[in-house]
């Protein structure tokens, strides 16, 4: 296992982070514990979750992922061996997250409620990394840095970034949170957090968790420089394009138990040009004798701005395949071939 420094902290996290959003939906509690055991055995020390998980988010499964991780931590008595990350929801209509059934926003009262509930489910008195899952303000699209600007309607009573940052800083002072991070953020939002932290003298964000893959390299357009210069490293998610870059959906296939088969909510990876680009990457992997999953993950792992790549699996076999990406190099010839496809079909899935 490789380990990398998390931002400007003293924490070293595994280059592969175990994503857990399947826990409580596609994976049972026993499945979750088996994945966590396997990951820890091979050196993964970084676990990521969120208050809204399992995914797709719904009232019946909300919080189960954190609860499954909590029962594992209690059974194994290994809290000190893992770097535990979770997230608070930004503005959304998911009113089941809050006791008063309010629209979620990043106010002091709501973040406090969210963190206390997460800590209770996780069975711990602190988290190592507490992330803002998505902004409070209106943005052109969830989790995306758009290739086409669509002007969003401003939301009422937008919570200023400075206000949210001060709440998070208070949690750090109280010992409930060691470090803070961002997720699904833009270059502007990231720099606003950094500038506010520096101006007020508060803790800076140490990471940014955004989508990044062969078919979505929009992170490179503005956030890569921020990540490198400000030491706010990328925690890359969806580096397999939610399974499309594994090849399992090629030519319209719908494998039993797969996310698209179960939920049909992967339209981000079905935009114009996506199928052509994905197939070219799958063919490139075959030309180089590589498992396509390993190629896609190795690409994300070898970017200079990447701190860790978040993987998600429903079976131990998938988990083992993903972990094997650490052994894959991207030589200059392969890098050039990847870039040629990217220039041919740039960011079809932003």
Site of tokens 């996290």:
13
Give the Å distances, CA to CA, from 10 to 177, 276, 322.
14, 43, 27
53 has catalytic annotation: yes
Return contacts of 313-320, CB within 8 angstroms, 24+ apart.
313/22, 313/35, 314/22, 314/26, 314/27, 314/31, 314/257, 316/34, 316/35, 316/38, 319/35, 319/38, 319/39, 320/38
- Ordered DSSP codes for 245-308: GGTTTGGG---TT-HHHHH---GGGSSTTHHHHHHHHHHHHHHTT--HHHHHHHHHHTSTTEEE
Residues ≥6 apart with Cβ < 8 Å to 18 = 35, 36, 39, 44, 46, 47, 48, 310, 311, 312
Residue 4: name the closest of 309, 312, 313 by CA: 309
Straight-line distance from the first to the last Cα atom of the chain, in angstroms, rounded to the nearest whole number: 30
Q: Which of 3, 53, 249, 281 is catalytic?
A: 53
Using the Cα atoms of residue 92, residue 56, residue 150 and residue 148 in order, give the sign of their dihedral: positive
- Long-range contacts of range 96-102, CB-CB < 8 Å, 24 or more positions apart? 96/59, 96/62, 97/51, 97/52, 97/62
Contact indicator for 180, 166 with CB cutoff of 8 Å: no
Contact 224, 187 (CB under 8 A): no
Q: What does the alpha-carbon distance between residue 189 and residue 336 come to, in Å, rounded to a whole number?
A: 32
Give the active site residues: 53
């Amino acid at each position: 296992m490789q380990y990398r420094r998390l931002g400007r902290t003293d924490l070293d996290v595994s280059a592969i982070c175990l994503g857990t959003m399947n826990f409580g939906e596609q994976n049972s509690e026993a499945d979750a514990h088996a994945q966590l055991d396997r990951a820890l055995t091979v050196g993964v020390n970084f676990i990521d979750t969120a208050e809204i998980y399992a995914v797709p988010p719904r009232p019946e499964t909300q919080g189960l992922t954190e609860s499954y991780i909590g029962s594992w931590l209690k059974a194994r008595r290994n809290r000190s061996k893992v770097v535990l990350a979770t997230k608070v929801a930004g503005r959304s209509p998911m009113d089941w997250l809050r006791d008063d059934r309010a629209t979620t926003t990043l106010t002091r009262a709501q973040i406090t409620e969210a963190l206390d509930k997460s800590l209770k489910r996780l069975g711990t008195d602190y988290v190592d990394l507490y992330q803002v899952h998505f902004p409070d303000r209106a943005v052109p699209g969830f989790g995306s840095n758009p290739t086409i600007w669509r002007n969003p309607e401003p939301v009422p009573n937008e919570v200023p970034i400075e206000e949210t940052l001060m709440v998070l800083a208070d949690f750090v002072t109280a010992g409930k949170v060691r470090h803070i991070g961002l997720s699904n953020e833009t270059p502007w939002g990231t720099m606003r957090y950094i500038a506010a932290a520096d101006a007020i003298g508060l803790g800076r964000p140490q990471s940014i968790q955004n989508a990044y893959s062969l078919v979505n390299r929009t992170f490179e357009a503005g956030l890569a420089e921020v990540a490198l210069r400000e030491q706010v490293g990328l925690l890359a998610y969806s580096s397999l394009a939610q399974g499309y870059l594994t090849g399992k959906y090629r030519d319209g296939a719908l494998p039993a138990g797969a996310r698209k088969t179960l939920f049909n909510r992967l339209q981000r990876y079905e935009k114009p040009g996506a199928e052509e680009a994905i197939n070219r990457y799958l063919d490139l992997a075959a030309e180089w004798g590589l498992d396509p999953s390993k190629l896609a993950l190795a690409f994300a792992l070898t970017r200079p701005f990447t701190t860790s790549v978040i993987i998600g699996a429903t079976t131990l076999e998938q988990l083992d395949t993903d972990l094997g990406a650490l052994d894959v190099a991207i030589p200059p010839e392969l890098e050039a071939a990847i870039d040629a496809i990217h220039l041919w079909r740039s960011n079809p899935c932003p």
